[in-house]
Structure 1
Amino acid sequence: MKRRLLLFSVLSAFLLLAACGQERSASLSSPKQSASTDSWPKELHVGFQKSSFSLFLKEKGYLEKQLQKHGVQVKWFEFQSGPPLLEALNAGQIDIGYVGGAPAVLAQANPGSKLVYIAYEPEVARAIIVPKTSPIRTVADLKGKRVAFGKGSSAHYTLLTALETAGLTLDDISQVYLQPAEARTAFERGDVDAWAIWDPFLADAEVNGGARVLIDANGLPKQYGLIVGRKEYVKQYRKVADVVIKELGKVHQEIQSSPDEAARLLAKETKIGEDIWKKTLSRRGYGGFPLTKEVIDAQQRIADRFYELGLIPKTIKVRDAVIAEQ
């Protein structure tokens, strides 16, 4: 009897260990457990704007060439400005994109935000413009006037900080929320008195739209260009993000070394004149870099100011959404 009990106990233990081993093996082989930063996805969805060098990267096909080696298909999605691009990112529709500082803050403050900061680019030219014949000569003259800008865009912050130099706030003007294409039409028709905008739309308005710069962003608080990503995607597929940054860096170098050729390609794809792109390229910085303390601090100032004005519902720490810092 004792021998039978002993044999039964040994057999039960063996079966239990075998079952545990099968369970562990199944767990290790499951897709959820095998996914890591060393894996590659089937697709990469990239959001771009006509004002960003991501467009140049798209047309050159450099990203596709690098990622197809790993079976990754690249899909591109165009947006007029940062806010709608970031809405798509938070909705899981795109994985990586380029935006200005202000829209990134708004996206990070959004409940359930999926945004992470990956890298930054130097500022692009931004300004508030008025018609050449306008009687508006100073920022103070904007009081009570109709000013067009994209809500939550980099131009929003440019306008805010420009008004503060004259002791004004956004409440002192009539705010007209318009995307670049609609704002250009309203500006030329005289439906608005001023327009806050960035290159290449700014350069186009200066050359072809009868615009005069009232104040530019030089001397105003800095606002960098930012490469951002969807948190879950970037953490799982960090190698993809690294490839994107590397190829964007090559694009910056290529444009900087051959601006005339770049202007021709960008003009063809955007239907914005070659001379406009030459003007745009001549007055911007180049390169893609890891986030620095200076950039993070500049982004934090935007966040703090937006919270003070009630433009975001809660305080945020920009650093909490930074993937890598230099």
Structure 2
Amino acid sequence: MIHRRHALRAAAALSLLALAPGRVLAAEPRTLRIGYQKSSTLIALLKQDGSLEKALEPLKVGLTWHEFTSGLPVMEALNAGQIDLSADVADTVPIFAQAANARITYVAQEAASPAAQAIVVGADSPIKTVADLKGRKVAVTKGAGSHYLLLAALKAEGIPFKAITPAYLTPADGRTALASGGVEAWVAWDPFLSAAELQSGARILKDGTGLSLYKRYYLASDDYAAKHGDILDIVFAKLRDTGTWVKANPDEAATRLGALWKLDPAIVAKANARRTYVVEPVTREGLSEQQTIADAFRAEGLLPRAVDASALGIWAPTKS
């Protein structure tokens, strides 16, 4: 009986200690693993200056960075639990991930930048309009935002996709193929687009204006978004502030990014001028073009199944 009484007193004392002012039980350590591509502009700047680590210090969050070659591998890693958050990916990427049953949640978007991707041809090409692409070989990165731009541009002219010959190439290989004559047109996005214009004299045939909004999205795993909203609040705020800084300081931003990417700052400045870098919450209504994109790829047999693009989870920041 005495032992039981002592045990009850000890339990009560521990409870009071946990609740006492100024005494906090140690929290479990938390981490944030970010997947990014080399061209992830805002994340590249945050990684360089260490400001995101500093912002997360009060929450005692450990931050790690994981580089990928393109958006789809980032989504695969996110769904596999290898990372927690993705840097910006093109609008098409979440759709293909969703078709593969990925468990992911929209965290933020960069507002539409339709001119940041375009169909280009060589400076001396006889091709003058999108209609002239009929019967031509066109380089495009399969499943990228630029792929949807090509579908939309052809549809607007009443040209079926099968009327061209697609060459599915990476951006670097697409540019090489255009320069060598291996293809007659190439669909590119910035900064590859601006580099081709300034370095090779590539000519824009048609950009995304009126055809494709070209939003870029940040996503988290469903589980991470559900459990770590306080961390995502800080990430959202830092992304928003960095986007504002890029537009307010175009020369300094171009210099910093040029050094990171080993690109002429003039190329980066041209590319950044065509991106809004306005980071904002994702809304269900704002995903309407995502459904249009999904339907377009499905109609061409490029998506393995039909998807409801608005069915993914949407995380919302505590303060917009």
Give the TM-score taking structure 1 as reference length: 0.83
Q: For residue 147 of structure 1, give the secondary structure of its aligned residue in structure 2.
A: strand
Deviation (angstroms), 1:226: 0.7
Deviation (angstroms), 1:177: 1.3
**2:309 matched residue in structure 1:** 318
Deviations 1:96-127 (A, max 9, x none): 1211111111111113x122111111233110
1:92–1:181 CA distance, 2 compared to 1 (3 A): farther
Q: Distance in 1 between matches of 2:46 and 2:160?
A: 39
**Residue pairs, 1:287-326, within 5 angstroms:** 287-324=278-315
Q: Contact conserved, 2:104 with 2:313, CA < 8 A, in 1?
A: no
Larger-gyration structure (1/2): 1
**2:76 matched residue in structure 1:** 87
Letter in 1 for 2:132: D
The correspondence for 1:103, drawn from 75, 93, 102, is 93
Letter in 2 for 1:108: Q
Q: Contact conserved, 1:149 with 1:176, CA < 8 A, in 2?
A: yes
**1:126 matched residue in structure 2:** 117
The correspondence for 2:254, drawn from 234, 241, 263, is 263
Q: Contact conserved, 2:33 with 2:66, CA < 8 A, in 1?
A: no
Letter in 2 for 1:86: M
How many residues matched? 293
The correspondence for 1:63, drawn from 20, 30, 52, is 52
Q: Distance in 2 between matches of 1:274 and 1:288?
A: 23
Gaps of 5+ in 1: 1-17, 19-37
**2:3 matched residue in structure 1:** none
Letter in 2 for 1:157: Y
Deviations 1:117-175 (A, max 9, x none): 11111233110001011111111111222211111111110111011122122222111
Runs (4 or more) in structure 1 with deviation over 3 Å come to none
Q: Distance in 1 between matches of 2:281 and 2:76?
A: 24
**2:35 matched residue in structure 1:** 46
Point out the more displaced range, 267-276 or 185-194: 185-194
Q: For residue 151 of structure 1, give the secondary structure of its aligned residue in structure 2.
A: coil
Q: Contact conserved, 2:103 with 2:221, CA < 8 A, in 1?
A: yes
**1:188 matched residue in structure 2:** 179
**2:16 matched residue in structure 1:** none
Q: Contact conserved, 2:123 with 2:201, CA < 8 A, in 1?
A: yes
Q: For residue 128 of structure 2, give the secondary structure of its aligned residue in structure 1.
A: coil
Q: Distance in 2 between matches of 1:316 and 1:91?
A: 20
Deviation (angstroms), 1:187: 2.1
- 1:208 has 2:204 as partner: no
1:161–1:262 CA distance, 2 compared to 1 (3 A): same
Q: Distance in 1 between matches of 2:285 and 2:184?
A: 35
**1:254 matched residue in structure 2:** 245
Q: Contact conserved, 1:224 with 1:295, CA < 8 A, in 2?
A: no
Q: For residue 30 of structure 2, give the secondary structure of its aligned residue in structure 1.
A: coil
- 1:244 has 2:235 as partner: yes
**2:219 matched residue in structure 1:** 228
Q: Distance in 1 between matches of 2:227 and 2:28?
A: 8
Q: Contact conserved, 2:38 with 2:261, CA < 8 A, in 1?
A: no
Q: Distance in 1 between matches of 2:174 and 2:248?
A: 33
Q: Give the % identical residues.
A: 38
1:77–1:144 CA distance, 2 compared to 1 (3 A): farther
**1:144 matched residue in structure 2:** 135
Q: Distance in 2 between matches of 1:79 and 1:204?
A: 21
Q: What RMSD over aligned residues (CA atoms) do the two structures have, in Å?
A: 2.5
Gaps of 5+ in 2: 1-7, 9-26
Point out the more displaced range, 289-298 or 204-213: 289-298
Q: Distance in 2 between matches of 1:215 and 1:149?
A: 14
Q: Distance in 1 between matches of 2:185 and 2:65?
A: 33
Q: Distance in 1 between matches of 2:47 and 2:274?
A: 22
- 1:275 has 2:266 as partner: yes
Letter in 1 for 2:59: H
Letter in 1 for 2:263: I
1:100–1:202 CA distance, 2 compared to 1 (3 A): same
